[in-house]
Amino acid sequence: MRVQDTAGDKDTQRHARRAVIASTVGSMIEWYDFYIYGLVAATVLGRLFFPQTDPYSATLLSLSTFFLGFVIRPVGAAVFGHFGDRIGRKAMLVTTLLLMGVSTVLVGLVPTYNQIGIWGAVAITFLRLLQGFGVGGEWGGAVAVATEWKSLDKKRGLAGSWPQFGSPLGLLLALIVLTTVSKYGTTEWFETIGWRIPFLLSIVLIGVGLYIRVGIHETPAFKRMEQNGTIQKAPVSVAIRKYWREILLVCGIRSGQHAAFYLFTTFVLSYGVGTLHISKDLLFNALLLACSVSLISVPLFGYLSDIIGRRSLYIIGAVTLGIFAFPYYMMLNSGNTAIIVLAIVMSIVVHDISYGPQPAFIAEAFPPEVRYSGSSLGYQLSSITAGGPAPLIATYLFHQYGTTLAVSIYLAALATIATICAVYLPDTHRRNYNSSDASDSAGIEGGRSVSLQPAQ
């Protein structure tokens, strides 16, 4: 028998709209923090914290600390997912914002190798781990807060895309700040003081984000869980035991998109500046333009998923990505400024075909009782398998084989994996997303029979 939703009076469009805004702004701030490190790591951190190595090794070591932030993400997903499904989505989003913001500000205060030797690199690595831990818990909560409202049932794809919208917005902000700082100072000034400014500015963003997130309501779906007594004692354990198939498939569908993003935004900087000798300003400006276009394409593809379905659009995106992996590097290697800019803009749009519908597609695979835990684990596992190591693997492949064809084949292989996994992950966007009984709560209580058959 369906339980009446006593919290329904508060499930208004105004509260839902504020929740979506809070998720978007908070995500923007946290991704700004995360991207700032990646962008600086790809350009100057190697020389500042690993100066006794050759340029290739310095870049590799710098990107290795970047990768460590990804390794810790699944741990953050498990910890924040547990408490997000136990005590509420809102509290976790405030906590992750604080953790990310404080660690980012501290990065801007770390002395370089010339000042304190290897301890500078140690401090940077530790703070990078804290950043990754916070990011690991951010996404699942942001998506739950943005989508768990009855008034958004028919436009959940669009609503879920707004936290994703925070990612290009954060990258756009990071690029604007870095471009401005690097433009109005000498190279020497940038490598001594300028690179610290974007990190220190994060303290202002923390205040803005906290103001917005503290004022949101808990989602009606979580309140219903409290009223019905369906909150799990160990949601992460339940998610792993009962929904391991969905977790692995989510990790799989993320592979192509996740690796592509960091190849298109991080590796392109180290490769473009270090190998092709393209000016850093040109690459930053091209990425600025690409991120501006992404502000339209991300919600557009989220909206389209409400019309044609998540899985269909996702498969289109993954296949397109696998094909685009080859002309992309040809365009970068052309030496023509217009073609290089076009390649960078196109790369982000191709990426967004999958990225826009992704939150709703993933969140709908889990019932409310383990939604934060399950979706976070699957989403962040790809940080280890695809996103995190992508710039490292690309750097190694190019150094080893001397051609970007190896990088293209690598990306196409991941896109193929994503396509196959999308075929098997059910598209449940027409189900009652906010109802425990419609979301397979019986599977939580008594287990589920699992078979890897293509989704119908």
Structure tokens, 157? 């794809």
Residue 239, pLDDT score:
96
Q: How confident is the model at residue 186 (pLDDT cuts 50, 70, 90)?
A: confident
Residue 28 to residues 85, 159, 203, 206, Cα–Cα distance (Å): 23, 15, 14, 11
**How much of the chain exceeds pLDDT 90, in percent?**
48
Look at residue 2 in the predicted model and tell me its pLDDT.
44
Of the listed ranges 51-55, 231-235, 446-450, the least confidently predicted one is 446-450
pLDDT, tens digit (0-9, with 9 covering 90-100), for 342-360? 999 999 999 999 999 999 9
| 1-38 tens-digit pLDDT | 444 444 454 446 778 888 888 888 888 887 888 788 77
pLDDT reading at 187 higher than 50? yes
Closest CA relative to residue 44, chosen from 171, 172, 188: 188
Please give the full DSSP string across 218-253, using - where no structure is assigned. PPHHHHHHHHHT---SSHHHHHHHHSHHHHHHHHHH
* pLDDT tier for residue 53 given thresholds of 50, 70 and 90: low
Question: Amino acid identity of 218?
Answer: E
Instruction: Please state which of the ranges 47-56, 364-373, 379-388 shows the lowest mean pLDDT.
Output: 47-56
The DSSP secondary-structure symbol of 216 reads P
E strands along 273-424, which residues?
none
Kind plus residue range of the DSSP H or E element containing 26? helix 13-40
Q: 296 Cβ partners below 8 Å, 6+ apart?
A: none
The answer to whether 206 and 103 are in contact (CB under 8 A) is no
- The per-residue pLDDT for 449 is 42
More confident residue, 64 or 161: 161
Q: CA 379 → CA 15, 104, 249, 330, distances in Å? A: 26, 23, 10, 31
CA–CA gap between residue 100 and residue 73 (Å, rounded): 12
Give CA–CA dist 40/60, Å, rounded: 13
**Candidate from 268-272, 295-299, 428-432, 444-448 with smallest mean pLDDT:** 444-448
pLDDT of 42 strictly over 80? no
Region at 202 (left for phi over 0; alpha for psi -120 to 50; beta for the rest): alpha
pLDDT for residue 240: 96
d(CA 33, CA 456): 40
- 314 token code pair: 């996702």
CB burial readout 252-262, b (16+ within 10 A) else e: bbbbbbbbbbb
Give the domains, in start order, of the chain with CATH numbers.
Answer: 13-446 (1.20.1250.20)
**The whole model's pTM is what?**
0.85
- 85-136: per-residue pLDDT in tens? 999 998 999 999 899 889 989 989 999 878 888 788 888 888 888 888 998 9
Question: Range with the lowest mean pLDDT among 40-44, 90-94, 394-398?
Answer: 40-44
Q: How many CB atoms lie within 10 A of CB 14?
A: 10
Spatial contact of 138 and 26, defined as CB atoms under 8 Å apart: yes
Measured distance CA(351)–CA(339) in Å, rounded: 18
pLDDT at position 3 is: 44
Query: What tokens does 311 get?
Result: 């899985």
pLDDT tens-digit series, residues 206-264? 888 888 888 888 888 898 999 989 999 999 999 999 999 999 999 999 999 999 998 99
Q: What is the pLDDT of residue 438?
A: 39
Burial class (CB in 10 A: 0-12, 13-18, 19+), 92: buried
Q: What is the overall mean pLDDT for the chain?
A: 86
Q: Which of 387, 409, 388 is nearest to 398 (CA)?
A: 409
Which secondary-structure segment (H or E) carries 124? helix 118-147
DSSP-assigned letter for residue 431: S
Lowest mean pLDDT among 14-18, 313-317, 431-435: 431-435
Q: ∠ CA(6), CA(219), CA(139), 5° rounding?
A: 160
DSSP run (H or E) holding 25? helix 13-40
From the list 78, 79, 85, 74, the residue with the least C-alpha distance to 370 is: 85
pLDDT at residue 386 tops 80: yes
- 415: pLDDT strictly greater than 70: yes
Query: Do the beta carbons of residue 52 and residue 229 sit within 8 Å?
Result: no
Tokens of 87: 């005590």
Q: Model confidence at 362, in pLDDT bands (50, 70, 90)?
A: very high
Query: Percentage of the chain surpassing pLDDT 70?
Result: 87
